[in-house]
Amino acid sequence: MTLPRVALATGEPLLEVDDLHTHFDTLTGPARSVNGVSYTVRAGQTLGVVGESGCGKSVTALSIMRLLPTPPARIRGAVRLRGTDLLQLSEREMRRIRGNRISMIFQEPMTSLNPVLTIGRQIAETVQVHQGASRAEALGRAVEMLRLVQIPEPERRVHEYPHQLSGGMRQRVMIALALACNPEVLIADEPTTALDVTIQAQILDLIRRLQKELGMGVVMITHDLGVVAESCDRVIVMYAGRKVEEAGVMALFDRPLHPYTRALMASMPSMNTSSQRLAEIPGLVPSPQEAHRGCPFAARCRHADARCHSNIPPLTRHGGDHLVACFAVEASRIEPEQEAIA
């Protein structure tokens, strides 16, 4: 099956996240999970969002999809899908868009899929709700979607339950479910977590192939820099709910600027350094309930000075479209060729 093509020009801005803040009200004070994140996703391009667990990657995605309960979540900023601010829509209007024009692949398919419904019914339900198809038409579309994501014997598999499938097949079902209505933007939240490397490669190849066929924009959320290098056109590095660096994928790997980005690079295992100890980043990620007067990475950064501890660095441009939020880079205390570990 060839799905109807999205009427998009390559490079056209699809999703624009502008100064997004997501805070949670708790008994001990607000937890500031996302603090002023901005980025643009363009047609036919893959934007990588990378960082340690707890840095705000998934909360950003759930805020975009408006899948967080409010309260306790408080979301402000703007999330524009081809000019329409999703944060200003009613829940009824958002339901028409969610799963239709913008979809999400969740981290763990076994907990995201309904265990008491067949996978065919779960895909068909999406098609019925958003496209007004009959039950028979929707089930036929489910079979076609399973075939599209290369699940063998889709006519039989469509009647099976999630527990009857392997982890790789369940992830393919999640992709089929997310793409059933031909979305303009796909958010993939750790789509290869807990899968073996062979299945990981197959899933990433599948997303790339479908993206090329459909012309959609993709947000790839991951902590795996190998996935970023292989799959993304542009990369955002997040730390403690903030965007600390953004660049094209080649520029980021050739010339990482922020000390945190460099520390992440240094902690990656290499085939050429098997006898060396992996570098580690000292200290801990700050709690989202901790208020920051300065750069949230300052306590773990060996380049930090008094200014870093008292002021939050703004994002500044360093050649082309390479953005970084770091006073040390701005003051040239970090040389581009320097192998820096925080």
User: Which is more confident, 150 or 48?
Assistant: 48
- Cα end-to-end span (Å), the chain: 50
Q: What percent of the chain has pLDDT over 90?
A: 52
Residues 210 and 264 in one domain: no
Burial of 54 (0-12, 13-18, 19+ CB in 10 A): middle
* pLDDT recorded at residue 84: 94
| 153 within a domain of the structure (yes/no) | yes
* Mean pLDDT value of segment 328-342: 58
Residues 38 and 164 in one domain: yes
Residue 223 reports pLDDT greater than 60 = yes
CATH number, domain with residue 223: 3.40.50.300
Out of 38-52, 257-271, 307-321, which region has the weakest mean confidence (pLDDT)?
Answer: 257-271
| 295 within a domain of the structure (yes/no) | yes
| 3 within a domain of the structure (yes/no) | no
Sign of the alpha-carbon torsion through 318, 323, 328, 331: positive
Residues 164 and 308 in one domain: no
Residues 284 and 159 in one domain: no
Residues 89 and 129 in one domain: yes
* pLDDT recorded at residue 131: 85
Under the banding of pLDDT at 50, 70 and 90, the label for residue 235 is very high
Residues 153 and 300 in one domain: no
Summarize pLDDT for 70-125 with one digit per residue, the tens: 889 999 999 999 999 999 999 999 999 998 999 999 877 778 899 999 999 999 99
* pLDDT recorded at residue 98: 92
Q: What percent of the chain has pLDDT over 70?
A: 92
Residue 5 reports pLDDT greater than 60 = no
d(CA 184, CA 179): 9
Residues 126 and 40 in one domain: yes
Summarize pLDDT for 137-164 with one digit per residue, the tens: 999 999 998 998 888 999 999 999 999 9
- State the pairing for strand pair 13-24/73-81: antiparallel
The token pair at 131 is 């496209």
* Mean pLDDT value of segment 173-184: 89
Residues 180 and 321 in one domain: no
Under the banding of pLDDT at 50, 70 and 90, the label for residue 340 is very low
| 4 within a domain of the structure (yes/no) | no
* Mean pLDDT value of segment 267-287: 74
CB 286 within 8 Å of CB 299:
yes
d(CA 153, CA 120): 13
Residue 285 reports pLDDT greater than 90 = no
The number of distinct structural domains making up the chain is 2
| 245 within a domain of the structure (yes/no) | no
Residues 180 and 290 in one domain: no
Provide the mean pLDDT of the chain: 87
Strands (E), the chain: 13-24, 31-42, 46-50, 73-81, 84-85, 102-105, 185-189, 217-222, 234-239, 242-248, 316-317, 323-324
Residues 52 and 89 in one domain: yes
| 129 within a domain of the structure (yes/no) | yes
* pLDDT recorded at residue 337: 44
| 82 within a domain of the structure (yes/no) | yes
Mean pLDDT: which of 36-50, 178-192, 290-304 is highest?
Answer: 36-50
Out of 21-30, 108-117, 128-137, which region has the weakest mean confidence (pLDDT)?
Answer: 108-117
* pLDDT recorded at residue 94: 94
* Mean pLDDT value of segment 197-226: 86
Summarize pLDDT for 241-274 with one digit per residue, the tens: 999 999 999 999 999 999 999 998 888 776 665 5
| 8 within a domain of the structure (yes/no) | no
Under the banding of pLDDT at 50, 70 and 90, the label for residue 214 is confident
CB 119 within 8 Å of CB 160:
yes
Q: What is the domain range of residue 122?
A: 13-232
d(CA 86, CA 78): 7
d(CA 219, CA 232): 9
Residues 228 and 301 in one domain: no
Residues 314 and 201 in one domain: no
